[in-house]
Structure 1
């Protein structure tokens, strides 16, 4: 159960990070509300998962999921440049996250 919560929390990290970027320094209401809700849920899930998953592994997986999804969203919808090199680097992060889970 902890791994499912950790993965969901990693997804929510991408949600709050994207909302933070769209909030224009907390001047736009709905992105700010989504940021706050996503942040609280993401951190709460991370805290829950770290009760049974080692902190180093859990944090690395959480950050890896959030960072990968945030970059992918930015390339797909946020006007960030798409390139084969960026895609391969993000896939490297995903591979490392999978490796951490397999080794745990």
Structure 2
């Protein structure tokens, strides 16, 4: 169950990162509220998961999931160009997440 919570928390990390970008320095109310709610959910889930998942592994997975989803969002919305090297390195991050889970 901790791993599921950790992955969901990582997804909420991506949500708050996107909301932070869309808030334009907290000048837009809607994205600012989404940021704070997603941040609380993400941090709370990370804290809960770290009760049983080792700190280094849990934090790396949380950051990796959030960063990967944020990059995919940027690709999907056209904010960032998709290149072969970016996709390769993103796959390496995802592979690292899977590897950490496999050895934990």
Shift of 1:95: 0.2
Partner of 1:85: 85
Aligned equivalents of 1:34, 1:53: Cα separation in 2: 27
The number of aligned residues is 104
Deviations 1:50-104, CA, capped at 9 Å, x for gaps: 0000000000000000000001101111521111110111110000000000000
- The runs of 5 or more residues in structure 2 that have no matched partner are none
After superposition, the CA RMSD in angstroms is 0.6
Partner of 1:101: 101
Aligned equivalents of 2:18, 2:51: Cα separation in 1: 27
Partner of 1:68: 68
- The runs of 5 or more residues in structure 1 that have no matched partner are none
Q: TM-score, normalised by structure 1?
A: 0.98
